[in-house]
Amino acid sequence: MGAEGGEGTGEGAAQGAPPVEGGEVEELFALPLFRKPAFPGFYHLVQITSPQIYEFIANLQASGQGHYVAGFMTTELPAEFADAPQSETAAPLVSLPPDSQPPAEKKPLRKDAGKVDSVDELVEVGTKLQVVSLISQSPNSPGGSLLVMPTGRIRRVGVAAQEGPSLGPLFKLETVALPNQVVPSASDAKLSMEIRALHSEMVATMKELLKMPFVNKEQFEQVIRYYNLDDPLKLADLAAGMSSAPRQDLQEVLTCEDPTERLRKVLLILKKDLESTRLQSQFRTQIEDKFAKENKKFILMQQLRYIKRELNLERDDKQSIIAAFKECIKNLGDKVPEEAAKVMDQELSKLGTLEPQSAEFNVSRTYLEWLTALPWGKFSEDNTDIEKAEKILNEDHYSLEDVKERILEHMAVSFLKGSVHGKIMCLVGPPGVGKTSIGKSIARALDRQFFRFSVGGLHDVSEIRGHRRTYVGAMPGKIIQALKIKQVSNPVILVDEVDKLGRDFRGDPSSALLEVLDPEQNSAFRDLYLDVPIDLSKVLFICTANVTDTIPGPLLDRMEVIKLAGYVYEEKLAIANQYLIPQTIATNGVPEDLMELQPEALAELIRDYARESGVRELRKLLEKITRKVALSLVRVEQEARERSIISTENLRKFVGQPPHSSERLFIHTPSGVAMGLAWTALGGQTLFVEARGRVPESTDSMAEDSPSLDVTAAADSTSDTPSSSSKSPRPQNAGPRMKVTGKLGKVMGESSEIALTYARIFLRELEPKNEFLDHAHIHMNMPEGAIPKDGPSAGVTMTSALLSMALDRPVKHDMAMTGEVTLTGKVLRVGGIKEKTLAARRENVDRLVFPMSNQADYLELKPYLRAGLTAHFVDHYDDVYRLAFEDAGAPMPGGSRGSEVVTVVTPLEEAQLPIFMTGASGESATTSAQVQ
């Protein structure tokens, strides 16, 4: 049964050509006819309910190959016709010519033709059918009708050789044409007289038959008007085609080669039809008179049954659905776990007991669809070529060495062990550094499928673990959906914004993620909808977050945290040149030769406009520039367009005034001001601490004041010279008062109290006569008061600002510091060293003071990140004071109570970027600009 049709000689013949004679073999597709054979010489309308057969013939017609088919009647009538009404089995195939046929209303299709399992089910003699046209039923009904013209009788002699890998629904047979019979000439008077007599009797019988009421009378009357009845053999074929005789008798007429014998057989059929019609009329009259009501009910019930079946109202879809599920389960084989296979069998048995109209049937069907659609035991093969993966990661992303190295380590472990295991990584960093896009590159490097979903603001646990099937519209969670969509059991799943999970009365999604992201548990993960164990141990989970503070501790403990601090100036410069500028020019349709961004302008753009840790703001600025260039180009004629050059002189014309000309409020810090380093969710930044104070002139103004420290009390912000105030006598009932502003958190408020207490002790050790901090009303402020600030790392900065105010000596202007201070002066470890170092580099601060315990964190930074910086590591405030005031003429303590200061100097020559980051290999390695 080849679908390659059109290779035979009949398919290439011109329309209307006579059958091939002389025994020449012709290959034709065989169309099995169920009800009766097709007689040559008259149009036939063959109705086909099978969409496969109809589409197959339509495809042959579309390719210019299906002009002819072979019509062979089946040896046996299909069993499904046993209960069909007579109006269907006796309906003739003969039809009016296509240009004379009146439009008929759409009716359900008869099953005139169909598919057989073997060629042996077809009779030997049939007709060659010229396909005149195809008539589709409707878009919602399968199948259609074929208007054919039988051109002559043919005999099948064999099955044609199959060509091509695909098989169609029809057999391709080898056929030979039978010779066309003609009426004997007048020379044979006896035979000619017998044929004329038979012809006259046939005409008389047909006329008498037309007087009787029978089923197809109206169609019979219409057909004989359009065909010539003078030829006895053509009349015989027409009469046989319109007859309701048994199909075997009609096949004998088609097979008969003797003209006289053929006319006798047709006349006998007509006589039987006439007698049957008379008996039917008589019987109908008697039955209608005697059993009118019962017969009417029976007929109506039979018609109702037939109509329902044709409208698919009684078709048993349930068995076909169950069969389809059994086939799916069989195809899954032994890859399905035992428990899941048992659930499938139970659900399939349950489906067989339910009515298709019931709601439970659809629930059970949907559940089975999800179970059979999952990729049970199907895994994609991981890439084991380390060099290829490293090349992909370097092409797609710039810098981010920690992430790249971790992925390569994962591949190396899988390669050595010979098995693949999933991992849970969490990429933490400010917005715009490429956390989300690195997930796509990881999937590409590993040759795995990639699926991403965001849990930012997610409150419903069901989005993770699915809904229980008791709810209307229940469905599995995102994890199961990912497996179904990607059709593998080991994809890379990116859980975005995991630090922004919600929590309310609907549940806590972070708790639901505990099982998903636990390597010890997710090998038997149970979705609430499926309620069968699913193996997630081979899935590589990657989470992204801006901060880890809002991630619940148990969830954070299950993840391997990889921090992405952001990009320095040199990295942003390379990213812009290699990726962002070419992409924005291409995206906005600006020709490359009509726009030039000078290096000085790009440097100023990065330095004064895009100081964030990522490159998202830089991308926006470049897009803004290219849009303005595009607008200027379209405003003039194409011939008059000129090259747009963006320089430092006209940069503000494109992007406006720089939002951060400098974060440094003070080029030279005055007394009472110290520069610190802070970590934020957007990266690191410098932070100034201002301290001002005055000693009241009279004791009356302080009579009602509490002698204790009050960081919330209001104070006058005006200041006196500390040296003069230190000589004034201490007022009675006076105590230190300090007001702290700048939207500080509780921890930072406590740090200010510790800083004041230790500064008083330290100042008394330096200058016993200086009592300024003991008596003054102090106001400490941190600028940018709209931004919340918290954390203990500003302790040494606050202490230095208070001492600078009390001693009236400035802190070094090119020094920034960070560290938590205790009441005994110890400087404790803080976090965010990389972010703070990058912030200092952005502000051209080349001297840094860090806690001694952060020395390892600083040395882990790449040399090009530390280039030009001098970092001092201390463990007591004595050393911080000495470093900050050694050039200001301030009194120095006798010795240090801490360990020896460690100074790390990184030469400026180390600023040269590594080879893989410079693009020297000729490959673009900049997709880190595909920011989160």
Annotated catalytic residue 523: no
Question: For 540, which DSSP code?
Answer: E
Q: Which residues are 533's β-sheet partners?
A: 526
Active-site residue 793, yes or no?
Answer: yes
- Evaluated on CA atoms 326, 330, 336, 338, the torsion sign reads positive
233 neighbors 241 (Cβ within 8 angstroms): no
**Residue 684 · residue 839 · CB < 8 Å:** yes
Beta pairing class for 595-597 and 644-646: parallel
How would DSSP label each residue in 763-808?
A: HHHH-TT--HHHH-EEEEE-S-TTS-B--STTHHHHHHHHHHHHHT
Q: Which of 75, 77, 79, 81 is nearest to 123 (CA)?
A: 75
Which amino acid belongs to residue 405? E
Instruction: Please say whether the beta carbons of 109 and 126 come within 8 A.
Output: no
Determine the residue type at 510. Answer: S
Helix (H, G, I), strand (E, B) or coil at 194: helix
Name the active-site residue from 265, 538, 572, 836.
836
Q: Which residue has the tokens 């190396």?
A: 412
Rounded to 10 deg, the angle between the 247-255 and 259-290 helix axes is 160
Find the radius of gyration of the CA atoms of the chain: 47
Q: Cα(878)–Cα(43) distance, rounded to whole angstroms? A: 112
Taking a C-beta distance cutoff of 8 angstroms, is the pair 266, 209 a contact? no
User: Measured between alpha carbons, how far apart are the two ends of the chain, in Å?
Assistant: 56
- Which of 399, 725, 726, 793 is catalytic? The answer is 793
No. of H helices and E strands in the chain? Answer: 33, 25
Question: How many whole angstroms separate alpha carbon 907 and alpha carbon 869?
Answer: 7
Q: How far apart are the C-alpha atoms of 578 and 54, rounded to whole Å?
A: 57
Tell me which H or E stretch contains 195. Answer: helix 189-211
Q: Residue 177: beta bridge partners? A: 154
CB atoms within 10 A of CB 889: 10
What are the φ/ψ torsions at residue 286 (nearest 5 degrees)?
-65, -45
Q: Are 491 and 553 in contact (CB under 8 A)?
A: no
What is the residue-wise DSSP string for 60-98? HHHTT--SEEEEEEBSS--GGGTT--HHHHS---B---T
How far, in Å, CA of 858 to CA of 809, rounded? 30
Q: In whole angstroms, what is the distance from residue 410 CA to residue 408 CA?
A: 5
Identify the CA nearest to 111 among candidates 79, 155, 66.
79
Q: Report the C-alpha gap between 788 and 741 in whole angstroms.
A: 11
Residues annotated as part of the active site: 793, 836
